[in-house]
Amino acid sequence: MTPSNPGDAIRQELDNRGWTQEDLAAILGRPRPVVTNIILGKTAITPNTAQELEEAFGISADHWLMLEAANQLSKKDNDDGGIRHRAKVFQYAPLRDMQKRGWISEADQFETIENELRRFFLVPSLDEQPKMEVALRTSRRGNPELQRAQIAWSYRCLYLASTMRVANYNPATVKDAIPELRKLAARPELVRDIPATLRDLGIRFLVVQHLPKTGIDGAALWIEDSPILAMSLRYDQIDKFWHTLFHELFHILYRDGYRIDVDLEDSESSGEIDLIEQRANEEAANALIPKEALDSFIRRVSPFYKKEKIVQFANRHKIHPGIILGQLQHRKEVAWRANKEFLVNIRDVITKSALTDGWN
């Protein structure tokens, strides 16, 4: 039988040789009580002792040190599990980021933190994973740590949205209202009317700043049959705002749930767009600018996209030129750095009228 600790290994070697503990003490030049304590496990084997045992038994010092390390680890395995439990709490969610945002308190007691996490994720214990119906638009997926942060962000949206009161949701009414909603894309200041417009359509709209490295742009979530459209404004540009808004709106209309979408810009290069995601992207783009109209504009103007031409086309279709520019950039008709003055910021406008979490 292979010895499981240094003491048993020493006893075995003494038996093999017919030695006593007094004999080993004499060989090592150590007092008998010292040898006894080593065998009983009361005194740890140091590198010096391991070297002495190598010389006495002809068994390498590394062997004795490995036995000692394994013995010490086995004692740790018998602790109360406190370290494992605390590690599980940290692994369950992006704890520090959630505390910085004020989503849970900065309590020192792990029992308090655990209770707050259970309430936040609506689970009876941290042995259960949170569940929700959500379609996320994000540039990153596949990393469990990032997914935990994405889920935490979604649950924050879910909690905030539950405090809002909206009209009854009817998908047919929302579909009919898309042209009116699209009129708000004519000027940056009109985005202030989006929360109220969606509220009257039965859609809870809110803005929640994304957590670090999650890459979230927006999400479509549900409280039973009541939809939530959440945005992060990770990119504070009018073109990305409107594309994400309509992208999530079409996820709502098609009731796409339990998804984590890959960001359009990153996914094309990696081949990760699926049919549902492609549909949401195409319908969002087409709702803002009819594909036939943009195709015609490109045929007439390419490759000389002067500012005046873009503005004229935008005015003709009663939409902000930054949205035209964004679609041209996406089609690689215009360089990303060209005419960037069209890509105006809208965060300060929308956060004044929308339920908002983030940016202090």
User: What pLDDT digit, counting tens, does each position of 70-90 carry?
Assistant: 888 777 655 556 777 888 888
In a domain, 269, yes or no: yes
In a domain, 177, yes or no: yes
119-131 pLDDT per residue, tens? 999 999 999 888 7
Asked whether residue 57 falls in the same domain as residue 178, the answer is no
CA distance 152 to 99: 12
pLDDT at 119: 94
How far lies 54's CA from each of 2, 4, 200, 208, in Å? 18, 18, 82, 64
- Of these ranges, 145-149, 173-177, 218-222, the one predicted with the greatest mean pLDDT is 173-177
Asked whether residue 195 falls in the same domain as residue 324, the answer is yes
Domain termination residue (choose one: 16, 48, 76): 76
275-285 pLDDT per residue, tens? 888 899 999 99
Contact assessment for residue 158 and residue 226, using Cβ atoms and an 8 Å cutoff: no
222-269 pLDDT per residue, tens? 998 999 999 999 999 999 999 999 999 999 999 886 554 444 344 343
7-18 pLDDT per residue, tens? 999 999 999 999
Asked whether residue 180 falls in the same domain as residue 65, the answer is no
By CB atoms closer than 10 A (0-12, 13-18, 19+), residue 171 is middle
pLDDT at 224: 87
Contact assessment for residue 307 and residue 339, using Cβ atoms and an 8 Å cutoff: yes
pLDDT at 272: 45
CATH number at residue 56: 1.10.260.40
In a domain, 131, yes or no: no
pLDDT at 79: 54
Amino acid at 251: H
pLDDT of 271 higher than 80: no
Query: Could you give the percent of the chain with pLDDT greater than 90?
Result: 68
pTM equals: 0.76
pLDDT of 184 higher than 90: yes
In a domain, 160, yes or no: no
Domain termination residue (choose one: 42, 76, 110): 76
Average pLDDT over residues 331-345: 91
The mean-pLDDT minimum among 7-11, 317-321, 322-326 falls in: 7-11
pLDDT at 78: 55
pLDDT at 266: 42
Number of structural domains the chain divides into = 2
Average pLDDT over residues 197-222: 94
CA distance 344 to 360: 22
35-57 pLDDT per residue, tens? 999 999 889 999 999 999 999 99
Token representation of residue 159: 């909690």
Of 2 and 292, more confident? 292
pLDDT at 76: 64
In a domain, 40, yes or no: yes
Note down the domain range covering 39: 6-76
Query: What is the average pLDDT value for the chain, to the nearest integer?
Result: 88
89-110 pLDDT per residue, tens? 888 999 999 999 999 998 878 8
Phi and psi at residue 97, to the nearest 5°: -65, -40
In a domain, 337, yes or no: yes
In a domain, 133, yes or no: no
CA distance 28 to 116: 58
In a domain, 145, yes or no: no
Domain termination residue (choose one: 57, 76, 95): 76
